[in-house]
Amino acid sequence: MFKRLVDIGTPVTFDFEGRPLTAQAGDSLASALLANGVLDFRQAPEDGTVRGPHCMIGNCFECLVEVEGLGTRQACRERVRDGLKVRRHSGRPVPGEQP
């Protein structure tokens, strides 16, 4: 797992699966979740296995989460904000498309 060695910003509270979690301003959603010990971000529709961030630079799409009920977002390319509601993603994301 990961631990925070250096602070990058002021505390931010967001909601993951109904639980309040604390991150720091400047965190991506992926780093915010990893800093809280969350590794599994989504369930792959094809084989039902759980997946989590793999590349951290927007390439692998394994970090997909649901943000504010709006559908699929890449957690490594999205910034965390106070009060943001985030859930694990499950189901089939359409290529090149955020349903």
Partner 1 sequence: MTEPVIVIGAGPGGLAAATTLARAGAPVRLLDEQPAAGGQLYRASERIGGDATSPLKGWLGPDYGAGLPLIRAAQAEANIDWRFDTAVWDIRCDDDGIALGLLSGESVFQDRAAHVVLATGAQERPAPFPGWTLPGVLGIGAAQTLFKDAGLAPEPDVVLAGSGPLLYLFAIQLLNAGITPQAILETAPKNIAPSILPALFRAALRHGSSLVKGLAWRRRIDGSSVPHLYGITDLKAAGDGRVETVSFRHGGREHTLKTSLLLVHDGVMPNTHLTVAARCDHQWNDQQQYWHPTVDAVGRTSQAGLWLVGDGAGILGAEAAVLQGRTAGRALAADLGLTPPDAGTDAADRKALDDLRVLRAFLDRQYPPSPVFGAIADDTIVCRCEAVTAGEIRGLARRGCMGPNQARAFTRAGMGPCMGRQCGNSVGRLMAEELGQPVDQVGHYSARPPIKPVTLAQLASLAGKER
Q: What is the DSSP letter of 59?
A: S
Nearest to 11 by CA among 87, 85, 80: 80
Q: Which two tokens stand for residue 1?
A: 């797992």
Which of 4, 54, 68, 91 contacts ligand FES by CB under 6 A? 54
Query: How many Cβ atoms from other residues are within 10 Å of residue 52's Cβ?
Result: 16
In the stretch 11-30, what mask flags binding to ligand FES with x, by CB under 6 A?
A: -------------------x
Q: Does 74 bind ligand FES (CB under 6 A)?
A: yes
Which of 61, 78, 79, 81 contacts ligand FES by CB under 6 A? 61
Residue 43, strand partner residues: 50, 90
Q: Determine the Cα–Cα distance for residues 6 and 2; give it in Å rounded to an integer.
A: 12
**Chain residues in the site for partner 1 (CB under 8 A):** 1-8, 24, 26-28, 30-31, 34-35, 39-41, 44, 46-47, 49-62, 64, 72, 74, 77, 79, 93-99
